[in-house]
Each structure stands twice: as structure tokens, then as C-alpha cells.
Amino acid sequence: MSNKKQQSFFQLGLVIGIAIFLNILGNAFFTHVDLTEDKRFTLANPTKQILNELEDVVYVEVLLEGKFPAGFKRLQRSVKELIEDFRSESGGLIEYSFIDPNKGTVENVNLRREELAKDGIVPTNLRIKDKEGTAERLIYPYAKLSYRNRTAVVDFLDEEAKGSNPDEQLNYSISLLEYNFANALYKLNIGAKEVIAFSVGHGELSERERAGFVKSMRAYYEVGTFNLDSAIVIPQDVKVLIVAKPKTPFNDRDKFLLDQYVMNGGKVIWMIDRLNVELDSMRRTNNYVARDYDLDLDGLLFKYGVRVNPDLVLDLQCSRIPMVIDHTGKQELFKWYYHPVAVPLVNHPMVKSLDGINLFFPSSIDTVKTKTNIKKTVLLSSSEYGRLQPNITRLNFEILRYEPDPSKFNKPDIPVAVLLEGEFPSFFENKVTQGMEDMLVQIDQQFKMQSVPTRMLVVSDGDVGRPFFNPINGQFFKLGFNPYERHTFDNKDFLLNAVEYLKDEVGIIEARSKEVKLRLLDTTQAGEDQTFWQLFNIGLPLFFLVVFGFVYNILRKRKYAR
């Protein structure tokens, strides 16, 4: 009997010891198997690199605590799971806590709100539709990150998130969580936000027209303007320069500044309208002839590897515009072939997981051979039902009176956005004037005939970053929203991805291009089957318990019957 007791205690101790050992091992070495289709629980390699480079503890204060509808519970759970992954990958250098900013006395809550407002943290009153109806909650979907006396704020919710309902908007926000946190950690590590600038002085998009794009970028970058006329150099502190729909010519001095900025590693987004044509201009006349914008940029872009042609790209895959159909003023929506919807077909980080991008009177882009080795990637193009129209053609709305002839839309995959990567040749090789040399002397720089490895994006549509204007309230709609079709296209995400990819040396954009698929519950079906699933969830475990007890008793009787 004594031996049996000793053996029993030994086995118990062995089991406890193995359990303790496995627990210690599990805490020391974190791993999991991600079986999800969208790999939502797997951190991107650049994110892991940022976490592994941390040299001190990062304190994360998540303000998303309290009673929430189901949608926000999902957001809260996703934030916690992500931070746990960050903590495990960083070796415990991420410490976090969840707090409820609305908890406490009225005086404490008001004081806390004032302190949060100083950091730009303001509450969001969001409606969440559930089975019981529509609920409103005042919440703080933010996190404050602290690292070496530096702080950063992560906003979980994008006010202009794509999606037609709150569930889709929440899902979109969840898909950006890793990117937002990784981006904040990266900026905390380098100690400052990077600078993005819009060129001004050549009739580019106005401050109001680019306001939506700027607002979206300010969460991640310092955004400003840069006037080429009043400068002698474009500083390399400007990580990306955006030339958005210029209308007046660039002189040689301007082009020299742009060229040497590129030669020194500068990145440029060219949003170029080759032809001057607007929908409002067409409505003012029955016959409109598009004229060239005399930008004098053709030679510069040709040297870099592309040519924006003086033509228009039409596509049967397009958005629609309203037209009056009778004397009563009744309107209907018609497909407007000059507003193609480009759906990315390449698996590139800049366009991965994006849906359609709405373009407005774009031109075709040709890639040309260059002196140096430049990689050219067509990111956006027409569908298989594209068509080219020369600029000498008169434009009017008569085209809408007839069904389109598919045989005339027979030019597929016409490029309208091209990414250029590599070492660019200088446009000013053997063309440097004395004035240009004097400018270089002032900034103590040498003329460069070939760039260091860099990138640029050329889009043959200056309006891709301009939102529709709302004449009712005098404001612009959110970028990408088409008021005629009540649909949000992915223009904003395309441009944000472009900025991130061009200046991104770490590769954080890999986290931004993740897609978390939304799998919504059919609430009507769930309500009808509620009783069945309740009985199923209660009865199935009891059934297995009865079966186990029955089998266990039979085996026990057999054992002792012997």
C-alpha cells in the first residue's frame, strides 16, 4: 500500500512538474499557428523588425474600456490581441493597460477630457446598429504610446473609413491596427514625424481641394507646401514631394530644382493632367475641344522613363454621372466612359487589397527606354474594354444617347499610373547653365548626373486626389466619395499607400495592405434559429458528458469484474 501511495504521489508530482515546465516554456517562447485565410494574427516582417529594434519599454495606454456594443467589443478585443502579439515579439518591452476615460466623478471626467484634448484626443459619438436598434456611445478609440519621453497617439477609427455601414467601417479600422501601431512605434523611435510637401506656384490643387488628403496624412506625417519659385533647393527633409495637378509651365530653374532633388534621393508623386478638360466645362458648351496643358514637363518625365500622351482614356468600366432626360428636369445616371474605374490587378503593396480607383479624364502613359536601369511597374490601367481618343476630338454628351459599341472599346490594359524605381539619369546632363551652377555653389552641392536609388509615381490624372464639391453646404465631400453613385472609391487609400511606399525604407506598408475580411452574422436568420442554437449549445455538452459517463462505467465494471 505504501508503494502504491508513493507511486501515486510521484505521478502527481510529475504531472504538476510537467505543467509548470510547459507554462514556463510557453511564457519564454511565444508561438502560434495562424490558420486564418487573411493571416490576421501574423505580424508583418517590417513590424517585427521595428519591435526587435526597441531598446526600452513602450508604455501603451488604451482608452477603449467600458460597456460597448458588439462591434466595439470586437475592436477592443482586436487591439488587445495585437498588443499581446507586439509584447511577445518585443520580448516583453510592450507594457499596456486599458482605462475608461468616462469612469469617475463628473469633475474627474471633465478634467480628464481636458487633458486628453490637449493631445488632440477627442471623443467620438458613433452609432452602432444591432439587433435591438441603434445605440449611441461616447467613446475614445485611441491609444497613447510613451517611449523615452516621447509620446504618440494612435487613432483606431478613421473618420472617413470606407464602407457604407458601421460594421464595414469598423472592419476597415481593424485592418489598419497593425499599421497604425507600427507606424507610431517607428516615429517614436526616430523621434519625429517625416515631412510631406505639396508643390505650389503652378496652379496646383488649392488648399481646400487637397484638404481631405492632407487631413488623412497628418495622422502620420508633417504636411506642408513648397514653393519652387522662392527656393534654391528642395531639402531632403521633404520625404515626398507631391505635384498635384499643375496648370502653368515649369521653367528650367524649377525643373532643375526638381531634377537635383530626385538625384539626391527625393521622391515625387506626379499627378498630371495632360489635357485641360472638366465635366463642368463640357456642360457649358455643346462641343468642347480639350486643349493641352503647356506644363513643359514632357522632356523631364521622358528622361525618367515615361511619357504622358495628349489623349483621353475611355473605359466601359467607369462611374456614372446624372443627366436630364426630359423637360421636367428628371435625371438618370449614365455610364460616363471618361471617368474610368481602375481596379488594380497587380500584387504590389501600393495597390494590394484595394478596390476601384475613380479617375477623371485620364491620359495614357507609355514607358520608354532609359539610360539607366529603371524598373517600371504599371499599377493602374484600363479594363479589357478600354479605348483611346485623340485630343482633337470634340467632346459632348451625344455619346450617351446610344449603347456603346464593344468593338470600339478594344484596347485593354492602357496604363494610367506607373511606378518608377531605380537610379534616374539627370535631365540636365550637359545642360547646366551658369545660373544653375551658381545655385549649387550657394548650397555647397555638386551637380549630380545620376540619382541614388529612389522612387517616383506618375498618375495621368490630376483629379485623383481632388474630392467632389458639395454645392449645398459649400464643402468638399470626403476623398474618393462619388456623390452621384453614393459610393466611396479607394482614391484616398491609393494615395496614402503611394506616399507610404515611396518614402518607406522599412516596409511598414506591408502591414497597411493587409485585408481583414468581414464575415457578418445574418441577424434575421440568427433570431429565427435562436432557440435551436441555445438548446444545441446546452444539450451537446450534456450529451457528451452522459456518453462519457456511460462508457466509463462499462469499462470500470469490466475491469473490476475480472
pLDDT digits (tens, 9 = 90+) for 285-312: 777 778 888 899 999 999 999 999 999 9
Q: pLDDT tens across 97-120, in order?
A: 998 888 888 888 888 888 888 777
192 Cβ contact partners less than 8 Å away, ≥ 6 residues apart: none
Contact indicator for 157, 124 with CB cutoff of 8 Å: yes
pLDDT value of residue 324: 77
Maximum Cα interatomic distance, the chain, rounded to a whole number of Å: 110
Could you tell me the fold of the domain covering 195-489? Rossmann fold (3.40.50)
Rounded to the nearest 10°, the torsion over CA 172, 177, 183, 184 is 120
Work out whether strand 222-227 and strand 195-200 pair parallel, antiparallel, or are unpaired.
parallel
State the CB neighbour count (10 A cutoff) for residue 519.
Answer: 6
pLDDT value of residue 135: 60
254 Cβ contact partners less than 8 Å away, ≥ 6 residues apart: 202, 228, 229
3-state helix, strand, coil in the chain (%, to 5): 35, 25, 40
Residue 191 pLDDT grade (very low, low, confident, very high; cuts 50, 70, 90): confident
Computed over its alpha carbons, how large is the radius of gyration of the chain?
30
pLDDT value of residue 33: 58
Domain 36-186 has CATH 3.40.30.10: yes
pLDDT value of residue 309: 94
3-class state of residue 246 by DSSP: coil
**Alpha-carbon separation of residue 407 from 384, 411, 412, 452 (angstroms):** 11, 10, 12, 46
pLDDT value of residue 506: 67
pLDDT at 162 over 60: no
Task: Tell me which residue has cell 537610379.
Answer: 423
Mean pLDDT, all residues of the chain: 83
Q: pLDDT tens across 115-140, in order?
A: 888 777 888 776 656 556 666 667 88
State the CB neighbour count (10 A cutoff) for residue 148.
Answer: 12
Q: pLDDT tens across 62-96, in order?
A: 888 877 777 778 888 888 988 999 898 888 889 99
Q: Where in the chain are the domains?
A: 36-186, 195-489, 529-561
Answer with the residue of higher pLDDT: 448 or 552: 448
CA angle, residues 422, 427, 433, in degrees to nearest 5: 140
Amino acid symbol at 382: S
The DSSP secondary structure of 304-368, one letter per residue, reads: HTEEE-SEEEEESSEEEEEEE-STT--EEEEEEEEEEEEPP-S--TTTTT---EE-SS---EEE-
60 Cβ contact partners less than 8 Å away, ≥ 6 residues apart: 83, 94, 95, 96, 97, 143, 144, 145, 146
Amino acid symbol at 150: R
pTM: 0.77
Phi, psi of 458 (to 5 degrees): -115, 120
Q: pLDDT tens across 485-536, in order?
A: 988 899 998 999 999 899 877 677 777 666 554 444 444 465 567 777 777 7
553 Cβ contact partners less than 8 Å away, ≥ 6 residues apart: none
Answer with the residue of higher pLDDT: 22 or 491: 491
pLDDT value of residue 518: 45
Residue 384 pLDDT grade (very low, low, confident, very high; cuts 50, 70, 90): very high
Number of helices (H) and strands (E) in the chain: give both, helices first: 15, 28
Contact indicator for 226, 410 with CB cutoff of 8 Å: no
